[in-house]
Amino acid sequence: EVQLVESGGGLVQPGGSLRLSCAASGFTFSAHYMEWVRQAPGKGLKWVGRIRNKDNSYTAEYAASVKGRFTISRDDSKNSLYLQMNTLKTEDTAVYYCTRVPAYGLPGPSDIWGQGTMVTVSS
């Protein structure tokens, strides 16, 4: 079964840091670009960023609101995706979803989503 499972969410103070993880299974993780999308409580979906695969040098793209504070990385040997979040702000409070972008030339956008992990930034 194709699956993404996020972990690492929790309560953190403003200015703090948190690292989210996403464990992938059931597919060739290394072949796919991966993304993070977030959703503030009661609000819509917001794209956070993307990391490409090894063939594309693991380069990343970010939304302006997180650029310079968040870093997306991956470990293909562990089938895992990460989101390092630094200098957190109250407006970063959201459910964070890990998503898979179709590979092998298949058309996007993200076709598989994890169940999400909640991040609360509050003093």
Partner 1 sequence: DIQMTQSPSSLSASVGDRVTITCRASQGIRNDLGWYQQKPGKAPKRLIYAASSLQSGVPSRFSGSGSGTEFTLTISSLQPEDFATYYCLQHISYPYTFGQGTKLEIK
Q: Which residues bind partner 1 (CB under 8 A)?
A: 37, 44-47, 50, 61-64, 97, 102, 107-111, 113-116
Q: How far is the CB of 113 from partner 1 (least distance, A)?
A: 4
Is the Cβ of residue 66 or residue 121 nearer to partner 1 in the bound state? 66
User: What would you measure as the largest C-alpha separation in the chain, in angstroms?
Assistant: 45
Is the Cβ of residue 82 or residue 96 nearer to partner 1 in the bound state? 96
Q: What DSSP line would sit under 5-70, residue for residue?
A: EEE--EEE-TT--EEEEEEEESS-GGGS-EEEEEE-TTS-EEEEEEE--GGGTT-EEE-TTTBTTE
C-beta separation of 104 from 58 below 8 A: no
Is the Cβ of residue 107 or residue 123 nearer to partner 1 in the bound state? 107
Q: How far is the CB of 35 from partner 1 (least distance, A)?
A: 8
Q: How far is the CB of 38 from partner 1 (least distance, A)?
A: 11
